[in-house]
Chains A and B, each alone.
Chain A
Amino acid sequence: MSKAVTIFIDGREISAFEGEKLLWVALRNGIYIPNLCAIRGKKRPSGSCRLCYVQVEGRSEPVTSCTLPVKEGLSVQTRSPRVDRLVRSAFELLLSHHRLDCRSCAKRKSCELLKLAKERGLKMRLSRLAPLEHEWPVDDSAETFVFDRSRCVLCGRCVWICREVARVGALGFSRRGIRRVVTTFQDVSMAQSRCTECGLCVEACPSGALYFKEGKQPAAAGQNLSRGG
């Protein structure tokens, strides 16, 4: 067991274990820090969404809290002008590649993008950027759920849970750069893939990219294994 330490988040004194990542300490203590790609239980954080920035005392540049190990006396602010600017920018960048039609989105009640926007007072529309195009059609081949990549934010939670929890490995990342995408082996449709339709990925997805078809939501729904524990 690692050592207990005392740290400060927004001036609040908090006890934590040395080496834990700051993001989880904050969330556990009811302090919100925007995040999409953080997965509890994943050994090395992927650090890809770039939303979890905080300002560490003594450092000029903001730091991602999902990769920041806490140590005795660590003091951070969850907000600062530089943090806010990076969060606003990362969020708008993600929105620029995300089909924005919240009213028709099946996930509008649980959408973490909407939650993030509300928490940080951000708009669900583009102010500086032009929307980018999507090349993937909606995949509704599975019995119980739909995969709409035009709403995917590439957080990787579905990939992780499919591999590490469901132990199926139907989903993975493929391609590089702007074409990076979550897909099946050889890009076959979900129905043709090795997917068992366990539904874990749908629950893990923070956005409207994966959602259950009408009336197909499994009974035990509502627990998000990539976030709990």
Chain B
Amino acid sequence: MRGNAAAVQERYLKLKAGADARVKALYSEPVIRVGTATCGIAAGALPVKEAFARAVEEKGLPAKVIEVGCMGHCYAEPLAIISRPGFPSLCYGYLDAELAARLVEDFLINDDPCYEFALVALEPNDVFPTFSDFPRGVYEQKIVLEHCGFIDPGDIDHYIARGGYGALAAALGKNPAEVLEAVKASHLRGRGGAGFPAGLKWEAAVKAGSGEKYVICNADEGDPGAFMDRGILESCPHQVIEGMLLCAYAVGAEKGYFYIRAEYPLAVERVRRALEQAREKGLLGKDILGSDFSCELEIFQGSGAFVCGEATALVRSMEGKMGIPATRPPRLAEAGYRGRPTVLNNVKTFAYVPPILNRGVEWFRSIGTEDNPGTAVFSLVGKVAHTGLVEVPMGTTLRQLIYDVGEGLANGKAFKAVQIGGPSGGCLPESALDIPIDFDSLQEAGAIMGSGGLVVLDEDDCMVAIARYFLEFTQQESCGKCTFCRLGTKHMLDILTRITEGRGEPQDLEILEELAEEVRAGSLCNLGATAPNPVLTTLRYFRDEYEAHIFEKRCPALMCKELIVYYIEPQRCSKLCNVCVGSCPVEAIYTREDGLKAIDQEKCVKCDNCLKTCPPDYNAVIKLSPPGLLAEKEGKRP
């Protein structure tokens, strides 16, 4: 215990009472919450917010327009929640300025909530369905994302009013060892990829002795397609701050850092603001809440190299050295930043800690599975209908995640694979969709949980090209220090490139497989050790596609440029239509004597324009693979 528990609690309750009163006053009038995380802004949330504000002002309404983070329904962005006393809070999607102005007028003045534009109601009511009435709501359970999209990340009172910093206040009245025990007992596993138990890591830092220690939050998030950590920092930074403070308290650290990639300026800005507000409220800095526990948190902006997310490289880059992984031992918990014991955890890992302490270890362990308690947070992207940030209990199957939460595939295409874990992860086929999502099951199937990117692939995606894409990423991001990663990934990439370009040789698959296994086993850090996963899983589950490329010079998904030709089917082409001719950037399309169109293969650069522009009535442009099929087709010219 640090200082007077009752006095700490009293100070917290005063803060809470103040926050409650402010938030209550806010919601005594209509409130319009506009989602302005990076995803919302990209979809045009700022003009929508302006439109709301302008309409409210023009009509002289007492309503407030505030910014909130990401609710996770990124597909329907821009989004806003309108709360008006006497009505259920309603969430509207696909907004634009015009609709915003109309909602102000119809809902806030004419009492018509425009249900036709509403997506969901936040509170149970008699008129409109809530989240739990949708399949997604049935599967989703939010711990880390609980407040995301519902509170103003720029106003600490919104977090406090929802019980925020309550876990910290309670912990300060206890022994640090009790906090550590709770985190250990919760079996919380690190969400940065490897799933190492957070409690054990913290304990190692405690055992490393007293003196200067550091807590670092890893927000480097470099996987292509992943944006969970960004979403959390932009939407609810205080939950992560509170988690870091609890960790610092448990391990005896007085200094911590957010390591945020510089490409996340909005996240940096929101964390900075959150830290300032926490400091003003006495929740950060010296003698927190009047206890004798002091802790400072600062932001460090990473230069953005993917490998800097690796623990030892991250610490080195903070020390001003090149961001290159180092050998272990020693582990960071023994000798990390500036040679001192250091706890490094992912954004999500820290965000779980306040809810665990608030609601108890039993509650946390009741969610998910025995060895994988809690939830999994994914950025669901690719060819899935409902992209977004989702959070489901561990043990949910991939099928439920894709078909129930994500509402299946977009555009009615057939599912082919799901890529999990980014460049370190793997591609799993239809037959693996019923495996439960957890660290161990995914690893067994050849993928990894990673830090949570989940890309859905359909029939138009070539698995060899996908493997090549991810390997190219890791090969370019390799720091080059160790032999297997520097040279092994280069040779693997060269082989894959040859295969996708139709120059694959029969022995390539064997060499590729051998190299993949050796790079996995031989690399110094996990960048190299996991780089072969996309190749190994596609070889395991989609070997026929590799074989088609090598032996038949055919790309089954019709994606690899060197293995396809574009062809206009004369039976479907119309003399009356010319659009493809204009769409071709190299004038490869000509009009035949009979008025139909044809492609000069010598000139064609395979840009796909003609296929895209050919009107649906005709759909005359097709792709052929292998290119040899062309002779057959042209031989049959009517």
Instruction: Give the interface of A toward B (CB within 8 A).
Output: 44-51, 53, 61-62, 64, 66-67, 69, 82, 85-86, 89-90, 93-94, 96-97, 128-130, 132, 154, 173, 175-180
Assess whether B477 is interfacial by the CB under 8 Å rule: yes
B480 touches A93 (CB 8 A): no
Known: A89-B515, A128-B514. A176 touches B305 (CB 8 A): yes
Assess whether B540 is interfacial by the CB under 8 Å rule: no
| 26 contacts across the A-B interface (CB closer than 8 A) | A44-B327, A46-B327, A49-B483, A50-B524, A61-B521, A82-B521, A85-B518, A86-B522, A90-B484, A90-B518, A90-B522, A93-B484, A93-B491, A128-B511, A128-B514, A130-B491, A154-B481, A173-B322, A176-B480, A177-B475, A177-B478, A177-B490, A178-B475, A178-B478, A179-B480, A180-B481
For window 327-384 of chain B, which residues contact chain A by CB distance below 8 Å?
327-329
B329 touches A62 (CB 8 A): no
A132 touches B487 (CB 8 A): yes
* B323 nearest CB across to chain A (Å): 9
A19, B36: Cα distance in complex, Å: 53
A44 touches B326 (CB 8 A): yes
Known: A89-B522, A177-B479. A67 touches B487 (CB 8 A): no
Interface string of B466-490 (1 = CB under 8 A from A): 0000000001111111111011101
Enumerate the 5 nearest inter-chain pairs by beta-carbon distance, A residue then B residue, closest first.
A180-B480, A47-B327, A93-B487, A89-B518, A177-B478
A67 touches B480 (CB 8 A): no
B491 touches A129 (CB 8 A): yes
Q: A64-B327, A90-B484, A93-B491 are in contact. List 17 more A-B contacts (CB 8 A).
A: A47-B524, A48-B481, A50-B482, A61-B521, A66-B327, A82-B521, A86-B518, A86-B521, A89-B488, A97-B487, A128-B515, A129-B511, A132-B490, A176-B477, A177-B477, A177-B490, A178-B475
Most chain-A Cβ atoms within 10 A of its Cβ — which of B322, B478, B521?
A: B521
* B15 nearest CB across to chain A (Å): 45
A93 touches B488 (CB 8 A): yes
List the A side residues contacting B483 at CB < 8 Å.
48-51, 90, 93-94
Assess whether B459 is interfacial by the CB under 8 Å rule: no
B480 touches A178 (CB 8 A): yes
Give the number of residues in B that approach A within 8 Å (Cβ atoms). 30
Assess whether B523 is interfacial by the CB under 8 Å rule: yes
Assess whether B494 is interfacial by the CB under 8 Å rule: yes
Q: Which residue of A lies closest to B519 (CB)?
A: A89
A50 touches B327 (CB 8 A): no
* A17 nearest CB across to chain B (Å): 16
List the B side residues contacting A179 at CB < 8 Å.
480
A176 touches B478 (CB 8 A): yes
B515 touches A45 (CB 8 A): no
List the A side residues contacting B477 at CB < 8 Å.
176-177
A196, B316: Cα distance in complex, Å: 30
A57, B523: Cα distance in complex, Å: 21
For window 503-530 of chain B, which residues contact chain A by CB distance below 8 Å?
511, 514-515, 518, 521-524
A64, B522: Cα distance in complex, Å: 9
List the A side residues contacting B491 at CB < 8 Å.
93, 96, 129-130, 132
A51, B482: Cα distance in complex, Å: 10
For window 297-342 of chain B, which residues contact chain A by CB distance below 8 Å?
305, 322, 326-329
A97, B488: Cα distance in complex, Å: 11
B478 touches A48 (CB 8 A): no
A179, B479: Cα distance in complex, Å: 9
A128, B144: Cα distance in complex, Å: 48
A48, B482: Cα distance in complex, Å: 4
Most chain-A Cβ atoms within 10 A of its Cβ — which of B322, B518, B523?
A: B518
Q: Which residue of A lies closest to B325 (CB)?
A: A47
A62 touches B484 (CB 8 A): no
Most chain-B Cβ atoms within 10 A of its Cβ — which of A86, A90, A132, A177?
A: A177
List the B side residues contacting A49 at CB < 8 Å.
482-483
List the B side residues contacting A94 at CB < 8 Å.
483, 487
Please pick, from B305, B329, B478, B523, the residue contacting A50 in the complex, using a CB distance under 8 A.
B523
Q: Which residue of B lies closest to A175 (CB)?
A: B480
A67 touches B482 (CB 8 A): no
A96 touches B487 (CB 8 A): yes
A46, B482: Cα distance in complex, Å: 9
Interface string of B2-41 (1 = CB under 8 A from A): 0000000000000000000000000000000000000000
List the A side residues contacting B476 at CB < 8 Å.
177
Known: A96-B491, A177-B486. A69 touches B524 (CB 8 A): no
List the A side residues contacting B481 at CB < 8 Å.
46, 48, 154, 180
A67 touches B328 (CB 8 A): yes
B480 touches A89 (CB 8 A): no
List the B side residues contacting A50 at CB < 8 Å.
482-484, 522-524
List the B side residues contacting A180 at CB < 8 Å.
479-481, 486
B479 touches A176 (CB 8 A): yes
Q: Which residue of A lies closest to B488 (CB)?
A: A93
A178 touches B327 (CB 8 A): no
A62, B522: Cα distance in complex, Å: 8
Please pick, from B482, B486, B518, B524, the residue contacting A178 in the complex, using a CB distance under 8 A.
B486
List the B side residues contacting A62 at CB < 8 Å.
521
